[in-house]
A and B are shown apart, each in its own frame.
Chain A
Amino acid sequence: AQKVTQAQTEISVVEKEDVTLDCVYETRDTTYYLFWYKQPPSGELVFLIRRNSFDEQNEISGRYSWNFQKSTSSFNFTITASQVVDSAVYFCALYQAEDTGRRALTFGSGTRLQVQP
């Protein structure tokens, strides 16, 4: 069965600090997709990134970067020089593509990030 673990329940940092959010996943499929979403207090989930299981290249987008390592089944998310606006709950999610009956996002429990000014 698929599973996503975000062991960090809550992280508090001071503005301008770097912070890494951990995500470990479990799946038997060879084809799958990994996602990160941000949920601000308003409630909607904001898409941040999608990676497929065949592309282990790390990605950088502005202050955000992602480290995908299949060997350790991890897909970690780093925010460089954090800002107060980064305060939110961040979810890592897994999407299995091989079984049409199981195609859905499996979410981790989320990490609440608080960035103090």
Chain B
Amino acid sequence: KAGVTQTPRYLIKTRGQQVTLSCSPISGHRSVSWYQQTPGQGLQFLFEYFSETQRNKGNFPGRFSGRQFSNSRSEMNVSTLELGDSALYLCASSLGGLAGTEAFFGQGTRLTVV
């Protein structure tokens, strides 16, 4: 079956702009989580969506937001981009959350803010 698909793979944006990243989970998976990976901070949890509802949220400013659609596809939005938002953004899908099932990650979207 198809894996987790993230689009676009690469993105270059200017400070102050906004950006939307997309994640299509594995068919049948209802949980989508987003992580930010940077050299300085490592992998950090952004938020998790399950059945179109945000179930958990990490310690990120309100400029980071997301949503999930009825087909479980998820989008992440970052407004008023800052240089520090440059990172690899990874999306993970799982059947119902991590506790009972393994999470499958996409290849990520590499965002560069200039």
Closest B residue, CB atoms, query A50: B102
Asked, given contacts A103-B55, A104-B56, whether A43 binds B33 with beta carbons under 8 Å apart, the answer is no
Question: Could you tell me if B107 and A43 are in contact, using CB atoms closer than 8 angstroms?
Answer: yes
Can you report 14 A-B residue pairs in the complex whose CB atoms are below 8 A from each other? A33-B98, A44-B106, A46-B105, A47-B104, A93-B43, A100-B55, A100-B56, A103-B48, A103-B55, A104-B98, A105-B35, A105-B45, A107-B35, A107-B44
- Shortest Cβ gap from B68 to chain A (Å): 16
Question: Could you tell me if B33 and A104 are in contact, using CB atoms closer than 8 angstroms?
Answer: yes
Contact of A107 among B42, B88, B97, B99 (CB under 8 A): B42
Question: Could you tell me if A43 and B108 are in contact, using CB atoms closer than 8 angstroms?
Answer: yes
**CB-defined contacts of B44 to chain A, threshold 8 Å:** 107
Asked, given contacts A45-B92, A109-B42, A110-B42, whether A103 binds B99 with beta carbons under 8 Å apart, the answer is yes
**Other CB < 8 Å A-B pairs besides A43-B88, A93-B43, A105-B43, 8 of them?**
A35-B102, A42-B107, A43-B90, A44-B105, A44-B106, A47-B103, A95-B98, A101-B56
Closest A residue, CB atoms, query B3: A44
**CB-defined contacts of B35 to chain A, threshold 8 Å:** 105, 107
Question: Could you tell me if A106 and B102 are in contact, using CB atoms closer than 8 angstroms?
Answer: no
Within 8 Å of chain B (Cβ to Cβ): is A97? yes
**CB-defined contacts of B16 to chain A, threshold 8 Å:** none
Most central of A42, A43, A46, A97 by chain B CB within 10 Å? A43
Docked Cα-Cα span, A101 to B55, in Å, equals: 8
Per-position binary interface string of chain A over residues 38-60, scored 1 when its CB falls under 8 Å from any chain B CB and 0 otherwise: 00001111110010000000000
Question: Could you tell me if A47 and B45 are in contact, using CB atoms closer than 8 angstroms?
Answer: no
- Shortest Cβ gap from B87 to chain A (Å): 12
